């Protein structure tokens, strides 16, 4: 499997991120993926999750072609990225329940597993705290637990022990080993912590410059170093070796100095006695803070390996296999194998799963909305009021009922357009910048459910801006309005018809600043081309024709009919057009929009 990128700017050369990779992860195996920054590990992980297409070759997970059925693969893989996860504004235990529900568990099963993980991972004291209030280490443990929810048969863990103290790191490795031993869970570990990972890894691939330069068990890779021993010295107060001692040790093997006062010597086993005598009798133990002898470790292999420059193999499928429930697990003692789901656990599917996704994604997004709601409320209150008060006094003042209907409905639609395009695009852009969009894309949820939940969560922010003009107009100008229940259907439909555009812009544009600039310019075009504040007859013909293609035109017209008490065929036509635009936008987005843009 190969993945290339086009260079940016003036550099249009092809950049090879993954170069003819070919390997297999066996069922029930703990597989390590090691390599320096820029080795191509993150690109490989994105492709394993179906978030990035290979340029050539194939990736199979349990026989499923990732490029053809990425959504199905997400049901099999529990993912822990390096970046922070979503659900930050939810209580820790509740966050686990939400993830379990999004992965198809019933409420009872999700709560049961969440309680088990809370107890096993030592999170009892912070179970009722919001995730954003936790320390970095606690948050990382909660995120690790989220990856385990739903009993996924494959775990893909990217630096799982980042920010953890030694006790918590050991706990994470113990949990991984237990899941592998008891449930046959296949685990792919992407880590730099080679010494700790060596305790649980069964096989390992070392990547460099997009290629796999070594693949095998830790024992097989350590055999590359031959019958060598590692001698480590730490001198007191960071002192250096005397020149004559430095020369003698260098003559025995490969001497390195990774830090001041610290030395690492790789030497043949026949030289161990001589080196030990030199350290003890000539250096003297009084000069040493630490002195140890050890056989080569996987870290030594990792540091020693260099790209041999041999020709790359012919690409063949990258395969990830997870143990079936009735099969013995390779490389492990015979043990009961319980995978996705546990025996007797029902799973949600179809429309029921779709509605549950919307519910829990909405609840999660509402946590973020609650924190910023006062700020949005100020905008929602004063911007429509300023429009009604100012536009009605343009020139000699527009106080007739028809003009006021245009101004009131226009101010309300303006709030909806801003929320549907600008705020939605900015929110998605911020999520992408912070790495949250990658996490949502890795879950077995649909893009449509994600956008609908995002829109519904912003509806509480939009409602004041939508309703204030309807109440402020009659108070300020004594105009008689009809308050039809259809308004509560019309406004969410208008937001939904614009939401797919906002989400698309938020994912396609690279920076939040660019998103702000483009979306504000787009809002200006939408409101200029649509007869929102003035009759369509007053618009030039080109703008009038453009207005028929955008949702604000139909939203403003329908709202004027509802407020004016003239609900009839034209109103229902406007409503039908908005419904078609909303459904068409969501369909197009679910078909063409990429969650993860590289």
Give CA torsion, residues 447, 450, 453, 457, to 10 deg. Answer: -130
Looking at the structure, tell me whether residues 467 and 578 fall in a common domain.
yes
197 located within any domain: no
Residue 490 lies in a domain: yes
The radius of gyration of the chain from alpha carbons, rounded to an integer in Å, stands at 31
Among residues 295, 316, 337, the one where a domain terminates is: 295
Give me the DSSP letters along 370-435: HHHHHHHHHHHHHHHHHHHHHHTTSTT---SHHHHHHHHHHHHHHHHHIIIIIIHHHHHHHHHHTT
The DSSP secondary-structure symbol of 84 reads: P
Residues 385 and 253 in one domain: no
Pairing of strands 228-235, 211-216: unpaired
> Has residue 143 been placed in a domain?
no
How many residues make up the chain in this entry?
A: 598
Containing structural domain, residue 244: 227-295
Looking at the fold, whether 279 and 364 belong to one and the same domain comes out as no
- Helix, strand, coil shares of the chain as percentages rounded to 5? 55, 15, 30
Say how many domains are in the chain: 2
| 295 neighbors 230 (Cβ within 8 angstroms) | yes
Residues 284 and 359 in one domain: no
Last residue of a domain, one of 265, 280, 295: 295
Report which secondary-structure segment, H or E, holds 147.
helix 136-148
Residue 112 counted as domain residue: no
Ordered per-residue pLDDT tens for the chain, 598 residues: 899 887 666 666 788 888 888 888 988 899 988 887 778 888 898 888 888 888 888 899 888 888 888 888 888 899 998 877 778 888 999 999 999 999 989 999 999 999 999 999 999 998 999 988 888 889 999 999 999 999 999 999 988 888 888 888 889 989 998 888 888 899 999 877 676 667 788 888 888 888 888 888 877 776 666 667 877 788 877 777 788 888 888 888 778 777 787 887 777 777 777 777 777 777 776 777 777 776 666 666 666 665 444 444 444 456 665 544 333 323 333 333 333 445 456 677 788 899 999 999 998 888 877 777 776 667 666 777 777 766 655 545 556 778 788 888 888 888 888 877 888 888 888 888 887 888 888 899 888 888 888 888 877 777 777 778 888 778 777 778 887 888 878 877 888 888 777 887 888 787 888 988 888 888 887 777 777 777 877 778 888 788 888 888 888 889 888 888 888 899 999 999 999 988 888 787 776 666 654 4
Distance CA 448, CA 7 (A): 32
Is residue 502 one of the residues assigned to a domain? yes
In the beta sheet, which residues pair with residue 187?
Answer: 30, 155
| pLDDT on residue 144 | 93
Same domain, yes or no: 291 and 354: no
Q: Which of 295, 311, 333 corresponds to the end of one domain?
A: 295
The dihedral over CA atoms of 5, 74, 205, 63, expressed in degrees to the nearest 10, equals: -100
Spatial distance between the Cα atoms of 477 and 454, rounded to a whole number of angstroms: 36
The pLDDT value recorded for residue 200 is 82
Let me know whether 354 and 291 are in one domain.
no
> Do the beta carbons of residue 277 and residue 240 sit within 8 Å?
no
- Do 411 and 504 lie in a common domain? yes
- Residue 372 and residue 449 in one domain: yes
User: 398 and 278 in one domain?
Assistant: no
Within-domain flag for 430: yes
Q: What is the pLDDT of residue 183?
A: 86
> How many beta carbons lie within 10 A of that of residue 189, not counting itself?
25
Question: Does 170 map to a domain?
Answer: no
In a domain, 514, yes or no: yes
**Residue 264 Cα to chain centre, angstroms:** 40
Single pTM value for the model: 0.77
Specify whether 385 is located in the same domain as 291: no
d(Cα 443, Cα 70) in Å, to the nearest integer?
A: 11
Distance of CA 492 to the CA centre of its chain: 27
Kindly list the distances between the CA atom of residue 579 and the CA atoms of 216, 265, 573, 575, in Å, as whole numbers in the listed order. 57, 72, 10, 6
Task: Give CA–CA dist 484/492, Å, rounded.
Answer: 15
Model pLDDT, residue 318? 62
Q: Give the model's pLDDT for residue 391.
A: 63
What is the pLDDT, as a whole number, of residue 553? Answer: 87
What is 250-314 written as a DSSP string? HHHSEEEEEETTEEEEEEEGGGHHHHHHIIIIII-GGGEEEEEEE---HHHHHHH-----PPPPP
Residues 418 and 497 in one domain: yes
CB 575 within 8 A of CB 562: no
Q: Are residues 262 and 362 in the same domain?
A: no
d(CA 123, CA 418): 41
């Amino acid at each position: 499997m190969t993945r290339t990128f086009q260079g940016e700017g003036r550099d249009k050369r092809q950049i090879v991120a993954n170069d003819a990779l070919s390997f297999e992860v066996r069922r029930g195996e703990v597989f390590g993926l090691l390599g320096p920054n820029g080795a191509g590990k993150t690109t490989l992980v994105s492709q394993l999750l179906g978030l990035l297409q290979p340029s050539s070759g194939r990736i199979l997970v349990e026989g499923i072609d990732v490029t053809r059925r990425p959504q199905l693969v997400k049901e099999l893989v529990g993912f822990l990225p390096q970046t922070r996860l979503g659900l930050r504004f939810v209580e820790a235990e509740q966050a686990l329940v939400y993830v379990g529900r999004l992965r198809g568990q019933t409420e009872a099963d999700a709560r049961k597993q969440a309680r088990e993980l809370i107890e096993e991972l030592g999170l009892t004291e912070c179970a009722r705290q919001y995730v954003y209030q936790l320390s970095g280490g606690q948050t990382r443990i909660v995120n690790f637990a989220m990856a385990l929810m739903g009993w996924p048969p494959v775990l893909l863990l990217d630096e799982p022990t980042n920010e953890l103290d030694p006790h918590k790191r050991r706990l994470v490795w113990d949990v991984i080993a237990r899941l592998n031993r008891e449930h046959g869970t296949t685990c792919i570990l992407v880590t730099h912590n080679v010494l700790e990972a060596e305790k649980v890894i069964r096989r390992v691939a070392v990547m460099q410059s997009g290629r796999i330069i070594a693949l095998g068990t830790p024992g097989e890779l350590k055999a590359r170093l031959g019958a060598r021993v590692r001698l480590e010295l730490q001198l007191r107060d960071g002192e250096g070796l005397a020149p004559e001692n430095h020369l003698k040790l260098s003559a025995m093997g490969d001497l390195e100095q990774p830090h001041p006062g610290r030395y690492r010597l790789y030497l043949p086993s026949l030289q161990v006695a001589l080196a030990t005598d030199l350290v003890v009798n000539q250096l003297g133990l009084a000069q040493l803070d630490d002195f140890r002898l050890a056989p080569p470790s996987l870290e030594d292999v990792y540091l020693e390996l260099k790209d041999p420059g041999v020709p790359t193999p012919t690409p063949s499928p990258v395969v990830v296999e997870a143990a079936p429930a009735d099969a013995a697990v390779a490389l492990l003692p015979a043990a009961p194998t319980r995978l996705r789901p546990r025996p007797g656990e029902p799973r949600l599917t179809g429309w029921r799963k779709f509605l549950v996704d919307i519910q829990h994604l909405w609840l999660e997004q509402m946590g973020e909305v609650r924190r910023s709601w006062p700020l949005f409320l100020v905008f929602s209150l004063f911007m429509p009021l300023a429009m009604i008060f100012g536009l009605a006094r343009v020139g000699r003042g527009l106080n007739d009922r028809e003009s006021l209907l245009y101004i009131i409905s226009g101010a309300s639609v303006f709030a909806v357009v801003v929320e549907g395009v600008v705020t939605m695009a900015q929110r998605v852009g911020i999520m992408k910048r912070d790495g949250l969009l990658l996490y949502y894309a890795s879950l077995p949820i649909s893009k449509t459910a994600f956008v609908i939940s995002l829109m519904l969560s912003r509806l509480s922010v939009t409602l004041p801006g939508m309703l204030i003009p309807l109440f402020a107009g009659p108070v300020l100008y004594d105009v008689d309005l009809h308050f039809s229940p259809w308004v509560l259907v019309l406004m969410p439909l208008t937001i939904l018809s614009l939401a797919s555009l906002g989400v698309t812009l938020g994912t396609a544009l690279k920076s939040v600043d660019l998103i702000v600039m483009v979306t504000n310019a787009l809002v200006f075009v939408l409101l200029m081309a649509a007869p929102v504040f003035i009759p369509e007859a007053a618009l030039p013909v080109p703008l009038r024709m453009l207005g028929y293609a955008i949702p604000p035109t139909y939203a403003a017209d329908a709202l004027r009919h509802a407020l004016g008490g003239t609900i009839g065929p034209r109103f229902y036509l406007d409503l039908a057009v908005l419904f078609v635009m909303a459904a068409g936008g969501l369909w197009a987005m679910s078909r063409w929009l990429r969650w993860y843009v590289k």
